[in-house]
């Protein structure tokens, strides 16, 4: 009988780091005249009620996985999203400030959302040119890469052969997946709040395994905004 060669299920390569990129839950709505508080110049809203439900659903989805560490950023919506999962796992999250959201310059504090809903001409230009710094004072692609890539390298070096959760932001998920796949800068922007994406890092190279998995999110309206 001839030897058979079946298709094989993907397994994490030896020495690799597997990262589940969780976008934080929905944060409170932007209201004209009531700006978000700022942390280091960036908007820092708390989770909305829907976002807290999304955080619980993320925790339930991932609680039985063999997760070795959880990372959050310096912005509170990631801490609040990670809290249910960390409670299930008995873990204290690490803070990685360089995975914080894209800096939106003059449109921080909730202004970005308002401008996006109004389809402001600068917002349209930003989308067409695939660059955040079309917004006055916003972060350039090179500046974003200059902080995010070293942060991922530090995590990968610390967690070889491990599964990690990083609760981050929509713009950061989009940046990481675009870099990993060689796609246009905004190709993966707009993932849902509470969604899960996945990358594998080995020897400084990244592989995309999943994008915007939201099958665990029930009865929550998704608002796909970049911040």
Count CB-CB contacts under 10 A for residue 76.
Answer: 17
Q: What is the pLDDT of residues 140-182, one digit of tens each?
A: 999 999 999 999 999 999 999 999 999 999 999 999 999 999 9
Q: Is the pLDDT of residue 17 over 90?
A: yes
The total number of residues shown for the chain amounts to 227
Structure pTM?
A: 0.94
pLDDT category at 220 given cuts 50, 70, 90 is low
pLDDT category at 219 given cuts 50, 70, 90 is low
Cα separation of 190 and 212, whole Å?
Answer: 9
Q: What is the pLDDT of residues 27-85, one digit of tens each?
A: 999 999 999 999 999 999 999 999 999 999 999 999 999 999 999 999 999 999 999 99
Are the C-beta atoms of 101 and 73 separated by less than 8 Å?
yes
Q: Which domains does the chain have, with CATH numbers?
A: 17-102+140-213 (3.40.50.1240)
Cα separation of 55 and 60, whole Å?
Answer: 9
């Amino acid at each position: 009988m001839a030897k058979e060669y079946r298709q094989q299920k993907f397994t994490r390569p030896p020495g690799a780091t597997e990262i589940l990129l969780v976008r934080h839950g929905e944060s409170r709505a932007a209201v004209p005249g009531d700006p978000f508080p700022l942390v280091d110049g960036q908007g820092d809203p708390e989770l909305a009620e829907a976002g807290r439900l999304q955080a619980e659903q993320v925790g339930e989805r991932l609680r039985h996985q063999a997760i070795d560490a959880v990372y959050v950023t310096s912005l509170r919506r990631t801490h609040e999203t990670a809290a249910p999962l960390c409670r299930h796992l008995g873990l204290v999250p690490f803070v990685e400030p360089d995975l914080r959201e894209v800096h939106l310059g003059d449109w921080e504090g909730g202004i970005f959302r308002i401008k996006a809903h109004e389809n402001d001409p600068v917002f349209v230009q930003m989308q067409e040119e695939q660059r955040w710094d079309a917004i006055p004072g916003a972060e350039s692609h090179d500046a974003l890469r200059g902080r995010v890539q070293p942060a991922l390298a530090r995590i990968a070096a610390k967690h070889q052969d491990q599964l990690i959760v990083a609760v981050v932001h929509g713009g950061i998920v989009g940046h990481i997946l675009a870099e990993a796949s060689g796609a246009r800068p905004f190709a993966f922007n707009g993932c849902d709040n509470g969604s899960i994406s996945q990358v594998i890092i080995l020897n400084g190279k990244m592989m995309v395994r999943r994008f915007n998995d939201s099958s665990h999110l029930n009865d929550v309206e998704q608002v796909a905004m970049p911040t």
